[in-house]
Amino acid sequence: MPFQSILFEHPEQALPDETVGAPDFFADLNLGQIVDAICAGREEYDLKPFFYRSLRSPDAIRYRHEVMRDLENADLLGPVSAFAEKLREMRARLAQADKLYYKYQKEAWFLDAVETYCDAVQRFAEELAAVAPPSRGFSALRRYFSAYVAAPNFTSLFAETKRIKAALASVKYCVLIRGPSVTVRKYESEGDYSKEVEETFARFNESAVKDYRVEFSEWPDMNHIEAQILEFVALLYPEIFSNLDGYCAKNRNYLDPTVSAFDREVQFYLAYLEHLAAFKRVGLQFCYPEVSEHRDIYSSEAFDLALAHKLIAESRPVVCNDFYLGGRERIFAVSGPNQGGKTTFARTFGQLHYLASLGCPVPGKEARLFLFDRLFTHFEREENIANLRGKLQDDLIRIHDILDRTTPKSILIMNEIFTSTTLQDAIFLSEKILERILELNLLCVWVTFIDEVAAYSEQVVSMVSGTDPRNPASRTFKILRRPADGLAHAMAIADKYGLTYDRLKERLHA
């Protein structure tokens, strides 16, 4: 199989449209924050489109896992990073050439850019051959680079670049300045008298004196006098500068498209691994999940990547959670006290599945996840006066639209739906939605204040956000697999603050 892409083994897996924006669920799951943090500092590569398209087959995901594992080897990561840095240097030289005005100076910067490219490609091909990474992606890339550097197009470009550089380095000339007159002529082996002058006057140098030497400018662009001198030098060496003109015109499209694509695509992996390093330094774990279309799923010590990024910056601990579904189980009904981590758990579930669908390691010690076709979220929204709908009507329209578009391979994540209606109506509507979800055989996480959702059927698993048994008002942020007990939490908190019926009655009679 010839090398196609370090992201996709087969051409048909390539992104069909890189102008696509972030999926609708990104905001609900805080995936936009995660992608922003991963891509920060790499804006020149335009990596975000790669994070907007999930993969559709387990083999495509394994392809990326193999590449990512290869890059965890410092023997490969070093050469890849060095190659990327060299091509960044090449682009900087090309950008500088575009900013300059004078012809020969622009051509000199272009020549330097091509030399940087050729040196980088040649060295990287040698390093790939030495490391011989085992992944399908890097194995195919190694074969591609080996063939590319041996091909006549590259060898002739490299040789001509070195030849032109050597010819320019051989140019020697003299500048004679007499008042306003400047003369440029070839160097004729005149002696360098500067050393003799320094030795002659050395005995007079008894103390520090003012230095009257003029430093050459380090600005990349020339002034008009320097440019005129260069024009005269070109007239003195017409063949060398004519060859430079021809070289630049002929090699405008020197950059190989496959090499250029690799340079961009590999940043997807480098950016992700660099982002994970900060989490690993504080002891958090990541794993390569098993991803398939089986609905028996689990995750151990998972956490919300966006939230963890903020907590680490504030030197605060990150709470990890476990979950699993087996057999006919399809829905997590997550209940418990407010601010206890329920929404974070729902986001974690969604983040893990989406990151797994990109072929990335996911937060946690171990995981087996579902390969979905589409992911939907229904999180609480503020009322929009523009659509003239009440909150309940808006909830119903949104969930109806979602259920119309789902398939048995979809994932649905809902957060606190039907909070604007009576409990009796909320239970009735929830049961209708549960019926439809189970009919579609969807995997679902439903954060709810309605305990009846958790007890709807054996296919619904109750998860409860934990509190400290000694202090019910204190949250542990652990989400535990056990029956819903919202009333017990409410009574415990009410008792803590003297708000039970009996305590209130006592206070009123006092």
pLDDT tens by residue, 289-315: 999 999 999 999 999 999 999 999 999
What letters, b where the CB count within 10 A reaches 16 and e where it falls short, cover 82-110? ebbebbeebbebbebbeebebbbbbbbbb
| 21 located within any domain | no
| Closest to 352 (Cα-Cα) out of 321, 315, 316, 327 | 321
Same domain, 227 and 310: no
User: Which tokens hold the place of 433?
Assistant: 């939605």
Same domain, 403 and 498: yes
| 114 located within any domain | yes
Q: Give 9-49 pLDDT, tens digit per residue.
A: 987 765 555 557 899 999 999 999 999 999 999 999 999 99
Same domain, 181 and 61: no
| 191 located within any domain | yes
In this predicted model, which residue has the larger pLDDT, 152 or 196?
Answer: 152
| 15 located within any domain | no
Same domain, 135 and 187: no
Same domain, 293 and 420: yes
Q: How confident is the model at residue 388 (pLDDT cuts 50, 70, 90)?
A: very low
* Helix residue ranges, H only, 282-417: 305-313, 342-357, 391-405
Same domain, 200 and 321: no
| 277 located within any domain | no
| Closest to 412 (Cα-Cα) out of 394, 437, 381 | 437
Instruction: State the pLDDT at residue 410.
Output: 97
Same domain, 389 and 361: yes
Q: Give 60-84 pLDDT, tens digit per residue.
A: 999 999 999 999 999 999 999 999 9
Q: Give 317-350 pLDDT, tens digit per residue.
A: 999 999 999 999 999 999 988 888 999 999 999 9
Rg of the chain over all Cα atoms, to the nearest angstrom: 33
pLDDT reading at 53 higher than 50? yes
Same domain, 436 and 468: yes
| 40 located within any domain | no
Structural domains of the chain, count? 3
Residue 330 CA to residue 278 CA, distance in Å, equals: 34
Same domain, 427 and 497: yes
Q: Give 186-232 pLDDT, tens digit per residue.
A: 988 777 777 777 778 777 766 666 776 666 566 677 888 888 989 99
| 444 located within any domain | yes
| 258 located within any domain | yes
Same domain, 123 and 225: no
Same domain, 181 and 292: no
Same domain, 163 and 185: no
Non-local CB neighbours of 267 within 8 Å, separated by 6+ positions: 42, 45, 47, 84
**Contacts by residues 279-286 (CB-CB < 8 Å, ≥ 24 positions apart):** 279/305, 279/308, 279/309, 279/312, 279/363, 282/312, 282/318, 284/308, 284/318, 284/320, 284/363, 285/363, 285/364, 285/365, 286/361, 286/362, 286/363, 286/364
Residue 368 CA to residue 352 CA, distance in Å, equals: 10
Note the pTM of the prediction, 2 decimals: 0.87
Q: How confident is the model at residue 507 (pLDDT cuts 50, 70, 90)?
A: confident
Owning domain of residue 196: 172-205+220-236
User: Residue 325 sits in a domain of what CATH number?
Assistant: 3.40.50.300
